[in-house]
Structure 1
Amino acid sequence: MSDSEVSEAVAQPRTAAGVLFFDEVDRVLLVKPTYKPGWEIPGGYLHPGETPSQGAAREVKEELGITPPIGGLLAADWAPHPTEGDKLLFVFDGGILTPEWLAEITVDGVEIGEYAFHELDQVDALLIPRLARRVHAAFGARTASATAYLEHGVPHS
């Protein structure tokens, strides 16, 4: 049977990328959106033709006004949403933000109203559960110099 004879549906996930930035004591930077409650990591959905690392860098520039180097991939998460469909989410390592980068941060005021560094043990109270799981897994991957593959924020063995 040829490809033209088989019409099979394939996944077409919405794809997003975010970045974990840290301060000198390993607190993680979170941003507070203006359009919904709670906190997020810097990032967002990719544009057509954009790679995950390019999208992550663009979102950081849009949301925080800075262009620090974006490091390696910490986590990839297959996380379908009940109403939004399939999602594939990438988390990159932004490393420690130097005082120079911190001095240049300017939240856009449109999407992002504020930013703050938080202890890792605070993220469960600040983030939606699956994002909190993703952040914990990405933090663990960073510590282990590894990349985590997740499903719904849970490491897949």
Structure 2
Amino acid sequence: MSADGIDEPASRELIDYCAGLPGVVVGTSVLLRDRHGGLVVVEPNYKPGLDLPGGMAEPGEAPHQAAGREVREELGLDVPVGRLLAVCTTSAEVYGRVILDFLFDGPTLTDEQVTELAPADAELTAVYVLTPDEALPRIPPRTRRRVSVALEAHASGACLYVVDGREYRPPKQRVWHEDQAVPDGVPVLRAAGWLFDPDGRVLLVGDPDGGYALPGGGAEPQDVDALATLAREVAEEANAVLGRVTHVGYLADPDGGNVRSRSAARIAALGPLAPDPATGWSWSRVLVPPRRAVELLGGGYDTKLPQALAAQRIAHERLGIPILDDDSRVDIPAEGVVYDPE
């Protein structure tokens, strides 16, 4: 940059060097919704299933410019392109070239805009406004992972980086503090639970792409403590009602920050399957023994196993949950289940 703050032109040598570097394919998508939370999806005639409005960037076009152009071409809408929700990388092993998909937020469409939605491009067969639960099963798996990420990022306010369908997280060795209280004054950023049925199985929630997670999530301003965060999150994700709850421990970064609490609880009831208000889709629900839960959760068996065994031991000692160590699995029906009182 020159002394007066104006960027100097790139040298011819740098331009030639950049021109010879390996290229990537840049794709763009825009998350458009109606005022009821419905998702705008298009049906291309050149590939199966549904997709978000969007397409490939043209030479010399920035991703946000490509996103706006694609919405204009496909839907005839000239709308502002909002914040970046996610960058999804597909490795070269899949298509022969690295593909970077930039997912942008879009505005909430007016009722008039929704009424007038129709294909403006010969490559589209139809345009729909569907709930996430209606749309996701009709979207091919690889594309569905991008749409799931966009919905998560929209709900959380985050910007995500995803590699081959899974959020990338820098390797970090969190320290497990078994059966220890969170130090006074240290905020709990996330809370999750090992939630047990009367037979000793624990509840996992499944996303639309077949991944599993412990019920739980991030703290919100209205949560008075970690247990309030846990109760709210398990109700939103799994429509679960908890009985007795006990503290199991917490995870923290090596410096003691970024604390995540873990609790064990009896499940009193699992209500009818309902969309998560954050994302709009309905998580599936499955009950499995703790060791099998660790296998399904992924992301480091050796690090999660001590946590699972601690939850099983503490739930047995304090909540009277039997210790189950088999390979059984129970899929919760959509109508839910109510357990006998303790």
Normalised TM-score (structure 1):
0.86
Deviation digits for residues 11-34 of structure 1 (CA, Å, limit 9, x no counterpart): 421101010101122121110012
Partner amino acid for 2:100?
L
Q: Name 1:133's counterpart in structure 2.
A: 145
Query: Out of 41, 58, 65, which is 2:76 matched to?
Result: 65
Q: Name 2:46's counterpart in structure 1.
A: 35
Cα distance in structure 2, aligned partners of 1:74 and 1:24: 19
Structure 1 residue 132: Cα displacement: 1.0
Asked whether the 8 Å contact 2:149–2:160 carries over to 1, the reply is yes
Structure 1 residue 120: Cα displacement: 1.5
Asked whether the 8 Å contact 2:34–2:111 carries over to 1, the reply is no
Cα distance in structure 2, aligned partners of 1:12 and 1:108: 30
Deviation digits for residues 85-120 of structure 1 (CA, Å, limit 9, x no counterpart): 210001100131112332443412511111111222
* Residue 90 (structure 1) aligned with residue 124 (structure 2): no
Query: Out of 150, 154, 157, which is 2:162 matched to?
Result: 150
Cα distance in structure 2, aligned partners of 1:109 and 1:47: 17
Unaligned runs of 5+ in 2: 1-19, 170-342
Q: Name 2:91's counterpart in structure 1.
A: 80
Cα distance in structure 1, aligned partners of 2:135 and 2:164: 16
Segment drifting more, 122-131 vs 29-38: 122-131
Structure 1 residue 143: Cα displacement: 0.9
Query: Out of 54, 63, 67, which is 1:52 matched to?
Result: 63
Asked whether the 8 Å contact 1:134–1:154 carries over to 2, the reply is no
Q: Percent identity?
A: 34
Structure 1 residue 145: Cα displacement: 1.2
Q: Name 2:26's counterpart in structure 1.
A: 15
Which protein shows a greater Rg?
A: 2
Cα distance in structure 1, aligned partners of 2:141 and 2:42: 16
Asked whether the 8 Å contact 1:78–1:88 carries over to 2, the reply is yes
Asked whether the 8 Å contact 1:27–1:118 carries over to 2, the reply is yes
Asked whether the 8 Å contact 1:34–1:109 carries over to 2, the reply is no
RMSD: 1.9
Deviation digits for residues 55-111 of structure 1 (CA, Å, limit 9, x no counterpart): 000000000011111110111001135234210001100131112332443412511
Partner amino acid for 1:99?
D
Cα distance in structure 1, aligned partners of 2:67 and 2:107: 14
Cα distance in structure 2, aligned partners of 1:11 and 1:155: 24
Unaligned runs of 5+ in 1: 1-8
Asked whether the 8 Å contact 1:138–1:147 carries over to 2, the reply is no
Query: Out of 114, 139, 150, which is 1:102 matched to?
Result: 114
Cα distance in structure 1, aligned partners of 2:32 and 2:74: 13
Higher relative contact order (Cα pairs below 8 Å, separated by 6+ residues)? 1
Aligned partner of residue 91 in structure 2, secondary structure:
coil
Q: Name 1:5's counterpart in structure 2.
A: none
Off by >4 Å, runs of 4+ in structure 1: none
Deviation digits for residues 34-71 of structure 1 (CA, Å, limit 9, x no counterpart): 22221111000000110101000000000001111111
Distance 1:117 1:84, change over 3 A: farther
Asked whether the 8 Å contact 1:28–1:120 carries over to 2, the reply is yes
